[in-house]
Structure 1
Amino acid sequence: MIDFGDQVRNALRVQGKSLRGTAKELHYDVAYLSRVLNGKQAPSPELTQAINEYLGLSLEVVDSSVSHDDEMDAWELVRRVQASDVGPATLNRLERTFDSLAMAYPKADPATLLRQVRRQTAYVVKLLDGKKTLAEHRRLLVLGGWLSLLGATVHIDLMQEDAATARLETAAALAREAVFPEIEAWCFETEAWRVLTDGDYVQAVELSRAAQDIAPAGSSALIQATAQEGRAQARLGEQTETYSAIERVRAMSSANGTPETPEHHYRYDPAKSISYTATTLAWLGDKAAEPYAREVIRKLSPSDDVSQWPRRVASANIDLALVLLTDNRLDEACDSATKALLSGRVVPSNQWRALEVVTAVEARELPESSDLREAYQGLKAIEQ
């Protein structure tokens, strides 16, 4: 069996490339690359990916036992070797890392994800003090904006209001500095979600519209902000405006199609449109929400496997419970609510929705009310 080093050396020989030249092109220390190719040190996932792209190989990326802090130290060493120049390889790696974090968001533990966001943000701050071109400076600002936005979103999920506000303001400031309106639009949309969960539906509409005003045409931020407006209008009982927002979201998401990475939190996909339609119609008290909620559950949890989209499936079960209560299908409603609560994947910022179901069941004095209340209290206890 040919090992990693043999495959890379063979490719270098066939393509007429030197070890030193390769190290320079990939922005790695030549001594480190030599140790890896001689089997004295395991290749990191980042090096493996860089070599695959450079030599056109498909070597397997193996998870490393090295900590994220060690990874940051290694990147910093490379930067210093390059006379404090940030370099495209470092920026590419940081951008890929952010995308990985944004894709992990739908199912990651919020506290764990927040720690990773902090590490990446700290490294971007360090790089901003270094020597760099104007283009590299702007890429760092954009990276910092995205990371701050994601951090704010996680803080909101954890109900950490002051930290969320600080990160949102930072993200918006970096977006304006870099002239990157999509991030600023996402900031308005994220704040709209926060005030909506606080019950200020009028302000949620205003913030959603502000996001739409500055979001680039056809962007995910524009679609998400429109969906957010629809949810706020539903809470206000404004039927015409609600249905209008739903239709606009459908049209835009259909035109964009499904992205390569639909799990990416900042890339809208048609499946999200179905989820938001279910929530919006459920809040409006429209029985038409039921097929949408059931479709989300069917598509995202085949054979009851919710591991890919645990939060979205939990939300769909809450939506289904709400609309079933409206239709007085009480046993089915309690069953859906129980599934959502026992999943343990209703984040703190969304627990008020689950509480609405519990309260509605208790108001009807159903026998299941005590079990639902116990499940809700258990969910709260997990987050404490």
Structure 2
Amino acid sequence: MSEVPAWSRRLRAERTRRGWSQRDLAVQLATAANRPFPEPESVVRRIRDHESGKHRPDDEYAELYCRVYGLSEHAFFGDPADDADLGDEIDAIELARRAAASDVGRETLERLELAVDDLASAYPRTPPAQLLGRVRRHLEYVGRLLDGKKTLTEHRRLLVTGGWLSLLGATCHIDLRQYPAAAARLRTAAQLACHAEHQEIRAWCLETEAWQALTEGEYHHAMVLSRGAQDVAPRSSSAYIQATGQEGRAWARMGKGPETRDALTRIQQLVSPMPMPDRPEHHFRYDPVKSEAYTVTTLSWLRDPAAVQYARQVLYRLESREDGGPRPRRAASARLDLALALLATDEPGEAGHVALQAMTTRLLVPSNYWRAKEVIVGVEQHGIPEADELREVYHELYGTPAEAQRQIGPGF
């Protein structure tokens, strides 16, 4: 028998220390959620799976456990080996700084900048709650360095590093639907970018706000923010291209075909001469495969029949070992695109099957749950038997059927 994971032992220990039954804990989780929640029997089954180590809590349940027990997500669910690795990383940077007899120093800055690239590259394959813990530790270290002696050049580089880290932290918060925390980190990132006169970070802040607005169904606001990001971003930068993509997606959600296709054309003109970057998984660096994935999402939202074949091709590339290797989280999102496109071509059976594959990967983050819900409602409208199974799986993994219906965004 395999060893029970450390996080599952912590879950059980925290509950038993308080003298709670699993049903007591289910009530506490429902209270902490402050929203419609699954029936207690369903939650108890989930708790039993978590405490036995059968399934690791998804991001939503991880956050709820931490609220109930008053512990941080990284401290509670982080792998002790990961903690040691992260501590070693910070300690190594600190030792090099002291050896250079400088409060900051060139080598310290370079290693921090490399760490930012590593964190941004880890984003597509790391649960947002776990990545957020690593981002916080690096931000704490940058904050300590900002309080020390440094040259003007060193000060600016620290501001830029802090800006990227704050922006990545905001992205993780949005993935977790922690919007007040995301807004605070975006404000910090924007302020640091202004002090450092770093236009691309400023543009990414606006683009990230546009993405959040899009997930909340505020499509016109998303379009305005996307255009604002394009006004700020350096031409042909990744932020400019990404913001153009968000504009196209916002137009698609509003059903504006000509405006959508104009945005897609502009993206293609910007991306076509681009080489594949060394680290295509880097969240803040655009790459051709990301462009294709954005195009599929946009066409599926526009209900364009061409999206089906395009989505199949993109899914193949995202799961192949070409162009930087498999990208499982992007592939899960691409399956939702394919499912929605299949609904538009009146293929609800396959749409349901593909959506089920996306959900059972457990790679969808909370900010993407609404896209799964949208497919579920579309499958149900066709009245096929698979709809009940699809709804039940969603219920078990992500929330109640009533809430799934309630949170479908406008425009569907």
Q: Give the TM-score, by structure 1 length.
A: 0.79
Letter in 1 for 2:260: T
**Percent of residue pairs identical:** 56
User: How much has 1:209 moved relative to structure 2?
Assistant: 0.1
- Residues of 2 paired with 1:369 and 1:221: CA distance? 39
The answer to which structure, 1 or 2, has the higher relative contact order (CA under 8 A, 6+ apart) is 2
Matched, 1:206 2:224: yes
The residue number in structure 1 matching 2:105 is 87
Q: SS of the counterpart of 2:125?
A: coil
* Match among 243, 247, 262 for residue 265 of structure 2: 247
* Match among 133, 137, 145 for residue 163 of structure 2: 145
Contact 1:218/1:256 (8 A) holds in 2 = no
The residue number in structure 2 matching 1:117 is 135
Return closer, same or farther for 1:307/1:252 CA change in 2, 3 Å cut-off. closer
Structural mapping, 1:88-107, within 5 Å = 88-107=106-125
The residue number in structure 2 matching 1:315 is 333
Q: SS of the counterpart of 1:286?
A: coil
Return closer, same or farther for 1:74/1:300 CA change in 2, 3 Å cut-off. closer
Structural mapping, 1:330-341, within 5 Å = 330-341=348-359
Letter in 2 for 1:85: D
Q: Which runs of 5+ in 2 are unaligned?
A: 1-80, 400-412
- Residues of 1 paired with 2:83 and 2:283: CA distance? 27
- Residues of 2 paired with 1:307 and 1:335: CA distance? 25
- Residues of 1 paired with 2:113 and 2:105: CA distance? 13
The residue number in structure 2 matching 1:136 is 154
Larger Rg: 1
Q: SS of the counterpart of 1:105?
A: helix
Letter in 2 for 1:182: E
Structural mapping, 1:10-29, within 5 Å = none
- Residues of 2 paired with 1:373 and 1:266: CA distance? 34
Deviations 1:274-296 (A, max 9, x none): 10111001001111111221111
User: How much has 1:365 moved relative to structure 2?
Assistant: 1.8
Deviations 1:325-383 (A, max 9, x none): 111112211121111111111110011001000111112221001111122123316xx
Q: SS of the counterpart of 1:176?
A: helix
The residue number in structure 1 matching 2:361 is 343
Q: Which runs of 5+ in 1 are unaligned?
A: 1-62
Deviations 1:111-134 (A, max 9, x none): 110000000111000111111111
User: How much has 1:77 moved relative to structure 2?
Assistant: 4.4
Return closer, same or farther for 1:65/1:175 CA change in 2, 3 Å cut-off. closer
Q: Calculate the aligned-residue CA RMSD, in Å.
A: 1.9
User: How much has 1:78 moved relative to structure 2?
Assistant: 4.1
- Residues of 1 paired with 2:337 and 2:89: CA distance? 42
- Residues of 2 paired with 1:106 and 1:161: CA distance? 20
Return closer, same or farther for 1:347/1:255 CA change in 2, 3 Å cut-off. same
- Residues of 2 paired with 1:230 and 1:65: CA distance? 40
Matched, 1:357 2:375: yes
Letter in 1 for 2:113: E
Aligned length: 317
User: How much has 1:308 moved relative to structure 2?
Assistant: 2.9
Q: SS of the counterpart of 1:346?
A: coil
Which is further off, 235-244 or 361-370? 361-370
Q: Give the TM-score, by structure 2 length.
A: 0.74
- Residues of 2 paired with 1:229 and 1:85: CA distance? 43
Structural mapping, 1:236-315, within 5 Å = 236-302=254-320, 308-315=326-333
